[in-house]
């Protein structure tokens, strides 16, 4: 499933203080309104006193605005913006382990070759392999679909990260 395909899916990016409990504050605020978080990616930025959180949520436009304002009110949230898919570069990473047989190994290799631009084989035995793949959420979706005819043991996505496209001015709520 493509997280951006649904109209009610929205990507929020927040710059937050890198402190205990901040993520819980952010997710709590969304959860207590009954909205589902589709994906969540969080890690420190190049300045390790700050973290960036990317959240894909399933919320209609009107409540979303209210959620963004409420998130911005959190003391530890420094910046927050909603990124429209057209205005953003989005990337996800997946690690997938797939089992294969002598009969379908060639077909699997074929799938991997076609996705060669963004798939890397990390490990391989005679019966299974683990690949990493980075790309847009749509590309990861497509890879998932292509692999589904094999025996997929793990398909672990990181959740999407996103940045505004260069030259794109995105309305950002900022405390400073």
Positions that interact with another protein (CB under 8 A): 16-17, 20-21, 24-25, 28-29, 32, 65-66, 69-70, 72-78, 175-176
Report phi then psi at 151, rounded to 5. -95, 100
Cβ proximity to another protein, 111 vs 173, nearer residue: 173
Instruction: Tell me how far apart the alpha carbons of residues 38 and 55 are, in angstroms, rounded to a whole number.
Output: 7
Minimum distance between the CB of residue 141 and another protein, rounded to whole angstroms?
Answer: 34
Cβ proximity to another protein, 48 vs 126, nearer residue: 48
- 40 and 22 Cβ atoms separated by less than 8 Å: no
The string of DSSP codes covering 33-87 is: TTPEEEEEEEEE-SSTTEEEEEEEEE--HHHHHHHHHHHHHSTTEEEEEEE-GGG
**Tokens, residue 76:** 């530890």
Minimum distance between the CB of residue 34 and another protein, rounded to whole angstroms?
Answer: 13
Cβ proximity to another protein, 51 vs 139, nearer residue: 51
Minimum distance between the CB of residue 56 and another protein, rounded to whole angstroms?
Answer: 22
Minimum distance between the CB of residue 119 and another protein, rounded to whole angstroms?
Answer: 39
């Amino acid at each position: 499933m493509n997280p951006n395909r649904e109209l009610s899916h929205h990507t929020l990016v927040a710059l937050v203080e890198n402190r205990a409990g901040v993520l819980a504050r952010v997710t709590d605020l969304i959860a207590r309104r009954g909205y589902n978080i589709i994906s969540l990616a969080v890690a420190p930025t190049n300045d390790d006193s700050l973290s960036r959180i990317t959240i894909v949520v399933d919320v209609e436009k009107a409540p979303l605005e209210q959620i963004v304002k409420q998130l911005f009110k959190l003391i530890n949230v420094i910046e927050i913006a909603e990124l429209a898919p057209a205005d953003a570069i989005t990337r996800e990473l997946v690690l997938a382990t797939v089992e294969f047989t002598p009969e379908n190994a060639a077909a699997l290799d074929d799938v991997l070759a076609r996705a060669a631009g963004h798939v890397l084989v990390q490990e391989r035995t005679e019966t299974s392999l683990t690949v990493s793949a980075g790309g847009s959420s749509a590309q990861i979706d497509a890879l998932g679909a292509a692999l589904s005819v094999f025996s997929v043991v793990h398909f672990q996505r990181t959740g999407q990260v996103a940045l505004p496209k260069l030259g794109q001015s995105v309305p950002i709520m900022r405390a400073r």
